[in-house]
Amino acid sequence: MRFEAPESLSEQIAQHIGQRIVVRSLKPGERIQELKVAGELNVSRGSVREALLILERRHLVEIYPRRGAVVSEMTLASVHALYDIYIDLLCMLGRKVLECWSGHEISALVEQVRKHASLLSGLKGAGSNPEQVIDAGFDLVRNACQMVENPFLQETLENFRPAISRTYYMVLENRPSEAAETGELFLKLADTAAGNDAARLQQVIQEYGEHQRKQIMHILKEESA
Amino acid sequence: MRFEAPESLSEQIAQHIGQRIVVRSLKPGERIQELKVAGELNVSRGSVREALLILERRHLVEIYPRRGAVVSEMTLASVHALYDIYIDLLCMLGRKVLECWSGHEISALVEQVRKHASLLSGLKGAGSNPEQVIDAGFDLVRNACQMVENPFLQETLENFRPAISRTYYMVLENRPSEAAETGELFLKLADTAAGNDAARLQQVIQEYGEHQRKQIMHILKEESA
């Protein structure tokens, strides 16, 4: 029997509020009131403050001195900036994966990518659960990170996960067929990684990131029109 | 007259403890006890908890559920991982600076780099104040970030600043002549940026990062010997 410490209370609150931000039941720009949240969740105000600091680290809220916390905006400019750095970090991850290539580990990872890809390609719109699709993608990122053994890269990517999820969630809600599209791109990713060509892998990662960026930009423009 | 909100209490506490970690009066691996710190600084335990979350974001402490906070380790592996991601982000910054090149802005930045460089080159060991040297370097990074207008890149780089400062502080304490060395490298950086050659700029940034990484690795090895 193994005992594991549960997530801290502030982490639990952060995940709860974070999830509401990702699915946009808390809207970009909306204020989050410490006291109100503390009352609703029946927790101390201090725990809510800690949760908000965790959410700030995850790029989901901004905290202004004396004015409190606000859900991060989702503008064309902010999404551009987000994808710029996220794509860069994914490229670094891809490069590092190939650098520390070892036959066994990489083929396990490639296998995982393939499985994930065929799962996605099978989803023709109906029955696709956005959260499941998103989680599967991030699990891959996490596994690749563990291979690379760079805790700073892993942490930085993890911290971007909720903000990227929020954009991806929006894409999958508006265009369910994107799940299958993503599957195709993942398949290409697996083939390229297996080929051990670093330059080509960077290119495919970039393509993948740019494809997502384009989708979310379209939807944001439609919304504001 | 303009009124500005002071830093929040938790931010002030974070800066105070962070500074002690950077200069290693709090040693890597040392435990930080919430209650003790709260007593010493005469603040609430809640404020200390918030400060520790801020320091975790800045890669200076690690918080373990139920065990509390510990000053981040400074091993060969962790410094390697830190420089890997930091150099990558600086290269991204350099690339973005040239992408959004506009004659006026870039020459102001280049001018600042040159001034900083000649200041550093003048410091021949004696009289060099590590903190001043380090701050000047980071001011440049901040200005370059503002030019690029990517708040995520800026925030991510800012969050790495204390951990990088800790390594750089160690280098300058052990090898004061490194201030002048850094000055030479900055001069090269300014010339390359002015030349608007992206590939070359990446190369120079990489050289600069690798030089620092080599210094800190030497010192860590000496210390452990």
- pLDDT, tens only, B17-29: 999 999 999 999 9
The predicted-structure confidence for B135-174, as pLDDT tens digits, reads as follows 888 888 888 888 889 999 999 999 999 999 999 999 988 9
Nearest to A53 among B7, B53, B150 (CB): B53
Residue of higher predicted confidence among B109 and A157: A157
Return d(Cα B199, Cα B87) in angstroms, integer: 14
- What b/e readout covers B101-140, taking b as 16+ CB neighbours within 10 angstroms? eeeeebeebbebbbebbebbbebeeeebebeebbebbbeb
Cα A8 from chain centre: 22
Q: Tell me which residue has tokens 């942490």.
A: A155
Which stretches in chain A have pLDDT values below 70?
1-5, 102-104, 122-128
Amino acid A124: pLDDT: 57
Residues of A in contact with B77 (CB under 8 A): 149
Q: Please tell me the distance in Å from B140's CA to the nearest CA on chain A.
A: 19
B68 is written with which tokens? Answer: 């509390």
Does the predicted TM-score (pTM) go above 0.90?
A: yes
Return d(Cα A223, Cα A217) in angstroms, integer: 10
- All domains of chain B, ordered by start, with CATH? 9-71 (1.10.10.10), 76-224 (1.20.120.530)
What percent helix, strand, coil does chain B show, rounded to 5? 75, 5, 20
User: What is the number of other CB atoms lying within 10 angstroms of the CB of residue B220?
Assistant: 17
Amino acid B124: pLDDT: 57
CA dihedral sign of residues A72, B89, B154, B97:
negative
Q: Half-sphere exposure of A116 toward its Cβ, with a 13 Å CA cutoff?
A: 24
Nearest to A53 among B54, B66, B155 (CB): B54
Q: Which of A65-69, A151-155, B64-68, B187-191 has the highest mean pLDDT?
A: A151-155
Q: Please tell me the distance in Å from B83's CA to the nearest CA on chain A.
A: 10
